[in-house]
Chain A
């Protein structure tokens, strides 16, 4: 796929972050496809009955009722089916974890200093993770593979769930900086979170403006490593979104103040009590990533958790994004979206919250998140309403190619589908 690769304008990048500058290899085979006859939810525009989505060279070129199809083009018949953009989950560690409790398979968390802004997940990504085809089977085509832990966890990458190499998979490295409003990581008090975040942002600005002096050893002390300060550069100039996991209403306000003071491109994640400060969040133009199925007062920072958080935020004018906040079950983003609808979020907004809204928050709306000409050909054909429990993703198209929905779990199912005289070990050897 050409040209979908975002390029961060910020000057010097580390070698590990150079994916952002790379151009993905050209497709080995044609990525031309016509998905015909379905009820097409474009997300950016209207719902089209019996419409065709035409993809050429991996990009959508037309979405309409009457489309002249090129001779010989591959077709997917979506008659009586629902067609949507591929789902986009920005709350995963896909490619960075295989088995949660097996530490050698967990690459999303760098231990040590609470500030790890330079930590970039890209070189740890595993395109052959068994979680990727499992997620794809749920209609997920794109994900943010995010680091976790600490105060500043590091840099996340946007990946398409296709390909056998990191080069193929990565859409944008350094797509977002991940941070946590974590008093524990900051030193035990909420005030320390703000203190530490402001200190490191100040130092990143200082480092930017005094780099020559710094390298010459004529600088004041700074609170983070050179690499961390450099990595925060794009965040400081608003080119790299800062996603902050934060729940308590007053903590959200503290983060909004910091974002305003430093001109950050802030995204709130979690936001259990975001509905309580929805107007302020809306005024600041900050999107909120919610997990709609959240309503237990699990801690004193989320006593206000409620199922209609997404609906209330939307009603206040906040751009709502829906996340699964898991990796193994990111395939069930639709369950979260359906439950957001159950508790009042308009259906169309729930679909947008799992497609275009995340793309927009990450500066990828020109390429991802809706079905319109020019966008990357990530499309899902569903057997029915994508949020309904009886529906499933029937065809998942990534960059114009129909992907396999087979996976290790289905291999296990085939092996154990019948228990008979033949021992399972001699049956089905996997997808």
Chain B
């Protein structure tokens, strides 16, 4: 095999679900794919060790220790089933077995021992996903000693990982869960050009962060455009957008060399000592290989186009712009480049780069065929993602933009899952997907509707009707006896 061929083989093996043995021959595709990194079971020991070497999880350190809560078969019967896969089934059933969705349809048989839930008059959706959260790193309470989101000591801190700052006792997790949220990406903040790695969590309580980590979810890399980095580093630089871009470029030039050094060593006989590790470059090299997904805080249309040029120069992909208040101005570029946009419904005007935000942004991006995602960046709004999707949908409809209820649901489920590289496992109600499901008291696009029950991997994690059994953080335990029931209210 020629060297380029070999590298491409490694790249594909790392990236796709396809086994190493079969990968090179059968995979014709190139560039980033939506599939996850190989599962531990599927890849060979050697490939697994190499993957760990490259992404900084050697010896299996830092990998997910998530275990689903125990569950038996559950049949959710007779609800309006919004699949986020095109269909809205009136009077439909959803069957969860072994933590997964086994069937979705009408009049499903009740398996032996199944717990049957009458969802008539209620609505059923996939678990909600937020691509942009700082829960755990900017937790409640937001007081001295608790701010972990921004390592604002250097414009490039690709070496830090959000998961090392996540506080599993953030009371906000369980309020988000009560709002129907099952999966979130926790990102570092936007003080830095390159803020560090993000982590995808399932909202199931654990004592350490690895207990919450979505198994085999790709990591994210937080990058930030525009005003925030240049404000934070005004006195030492970068102090301009020019300086911002020079900073990204300098970092990726070093990352290219690092990647080259490591890839050459891996491809060789490995008789020499392994190259020195550099935590910053280890992360950026994984971005260049397509194994870490770039999540790019960027508001203005021209800033986003500049970032697309940067990605072109170094041959990586931006998975999703975040905030993207002006995404509607360049929605055709986003569609053509396959770059998602994670947006608010209505935040605008708090700084210059947010001045042109409009409520129709999401609908316009969606209608243009780009991957539109509704995100929150907020411990409050994460609890009303369903309402925000409705507001974005109705704003679009009022402007004559062609968006559907399924589109709107996908903004907070399937499309968000795609942005996190987990869309093969969650984000829709389809057989084979994880049993991440919400039963709503009514139409999730009504302001009066509540999440009644939330399932993660088939297990009830939140049930509004039960007085005990919903997660409550240690922090809230006994600290205010009159108040302390977590997200149940």
Chain A residues close to B by CB (< 8 Å): 98-102, 131, 273, 276, 293-300, 303-308, 328-329, 332, 335, 338-339, 341-343, 387-390, 392, 409-410, 412-413, 416-417, 419, 424
**For residue B358, which residues in chain A have a CB less than 8 angstroms away from its CB?**
409-410, 412-413
Tell me the dominant secondary structure on chain B's binding face. Answer: loop
Give complex CA distance A308, B359 in Å.
28
Partner of A409, one of B329, B359, B398: B359
Given contacts A102-B352, A303-B479, 17 further A-B contacts (CB under 8 A): A99-B351, A99-B352, A99-B355, A102-B351, A131-B349, A276-B483, A295-B489, A298-B140, A299-B142, A300-B143, A304-B482, A306-B483, A338-B447, A388-B448, A389-B390, A409-B357, A410-B358
Partner of A296, one of B172, B390, B394, B445: B172
Do A339 and B352 touch across chains, with their CB atoms under 8 A apart?
no
Evaluate whether A98 and B349 lie within 8 angstroms (CB atoms) in the complex, with A293-B380, A413-B358 already known: yes
**For residue B140, which residues in chain A have a CB less than 8 angstroms away from its CB?**
296-298
Do A99 and B356 touch across chains, with their CB atoms under 8 A apart?
no
**For residue B448, which residues in chain A have a CB less than 8 angstroms away from its CB?**
338, 341-342, 388
**For residue B346, which residues in chain A have a CB less than 8 angstroms away from its CB?**
329, 332
B215 CB to closest chain A CB (Å) equals 28
B156 CB to closest chain A CB (Å) equals 24
Do B332 and A419 touch across chains, with their CB atoms under 8 A apart?
yes
29 contacts between A and B (CB under 8 A): A98-B349, A99-B351, A99-B352, A101-B227, A101-B352, A102-B351, A131-B349, A276-B482, A293-B380, A295-B383, A295-B487, A297-B140, A297-B141, A297-B476, A299-B142, A303-B141, A303-B476, A303-B480, A303-B483, A304-B482, A306-B483, A307-B489, A308-B489, A329-B348, A335-B387, A338-B448, A389-B387, A412-B356, A413-B358
Q: How large is the interface on B (under 10, 10 to 19, 20 to 34, 35 or more residues)?
A: 35 or more
The list of the 5 closest CB pairs from A to B, nearest first, reads A338-B447, A101-B351, A100-B350, A304-B483, A328-B349
Give complex CA distance A92, B400 in Å.
31
Residue of A nearest to B171 (CB): A297
**For residue A416, which residues in chain B have a CB less than 8 angstroms away from its CB?**
328-329, 364
Do A100 and B351 touch across chains, with their CB atoms under 8 A apart?
yes
**For residue A392, which residues in chain B have a CB less than 8 angstroms away from its CB?**
394, 398
Give complex CA distance A305, B476 in Å.
12
**For residue B457, which residues in chain A have a CB less than 8 angstroms away from its CB?**
none
B75 CB to closest chain A CB (Å) equals 28
Partner of A328, one of B348, B450, B480, B482: B348
**For residue A306, which residues in chain B have a CB less than 8 angstroms away from its CB?**
483, 489
**For residue A329, which residues in chain B have a CB less than 8 angstroms away from its CB?**
346-348
**For residue A273, which residues in chain B have a CB less than 8 angstroms away from its CB?**
483
Do A295 and B332 touch across chains, with their CB atoms under 8 A apart?
no
Chain B residues close to A by CB (< 8 Å): 140-143, 171-172, 175, 227, 328-329, 331-332, 346-352, 355-360, 364, 368, 379-380, 383-384, 387, 390-391, 394, 398-399, 445-450, 475-476, 479-480, 482-483, 487, 489
Give complex CA distance A389, B389 in Å.
10
**For residue B445, which residues in chain A have a CB less than 8 angstroms away from its CB?**
389-390
Give complex CA distance A410, B450 in Å.
32
Do A413 and B476 touch across chains, with their CB atoms under 8 A apart?
no
Give complex CA distance A300, B171 in Å.
13
**For residue B482, which residues in chain A have a CB less than 8 angstroms away from its CB?**
276, 304
Give complex CA distance A332, B348 in Å.
13
Do A389 and B391 touch across chains, with their CB atoms under 8 A apart?
yes
Do A100 and B349 touch across chains, with their CB atoms under 8 A apart?
yes
Partner of A298, one of B141, B391, B446: B141
Give complex CA distance A419, B351 in Å.
26
Residue of B nearest to A407 (CB): B358
Give complex CA distance A409, B487 in Å.
35
Give complex CA distance A304, B329 in Å.
43
Do B447 and A389 touch across chains, with their CB atoms under 8 A apart?
yes
A382 CB to closest chain B CB (Å) equals 13
Give complex CA distance A424, B368 in Å.
16
**For residue A338, which residues in chain B have a CB less than 8 angstroms away from its CB?**
447-448
**For residue B446, which residues in chain A have a CB less than 8 angstroms away from its CB?**
388-389
**For residue B391, which residues in chain A have a CB less than 8 angstroms away from its CB?**
335, 389
A414 CB to closest chain B CB (Å) equals 9
B256 CB to closest chain A CB (Å) equals 34
Give complex CA distance A296, B348 in Å.
23
Do B175 and A295 touch across chains, with their CB atoms under 8 A apart?
yes
Do A341 and B329 touch across chains, with their CB atoms under 8 A apart?
no
Residue of A nearest to B485 (CB): A306
A222 CB to closest chain B CB (Å) equals 35
B377 CB to closest chain A CB (Å) equals 14
Do A343 and B351 touch across chains, with their CB atoms under 8 A apart?
no
Residue of B nearest to A409 (CB): B358
Do A304 and B480 touch across chains, with their CB atoms under 8 A apart?
yes
Evaluate whether A424 and B329 lie within 8 angstroms (CB atoms) in the complex, with A99-B350, A342-B448 already known: yes
Residue of B nearest to A344 (CB): B489
Among B475, B479, B482: residue with most chain A CB under 10 A: B482
**For residue B143, which residues in chain A have a CB less than 8 angstroms away from its CB?**
299-300
Do A343 and B332 touch across chains, with their CB atoms under 8 A apart?
no
Residue of A nearest to B333 (CB): A419
Give complex CA distance A102, B350 in Å.
8
**For residue A298, which residues in chain B have a CB less than 8 angstroms away from its CB?**
140-142, 379
A100 CB to closest chain B CB (Å) equals 4
Do B349 and A294 touch across chains, with their CB atoms under 8 A apart?
no
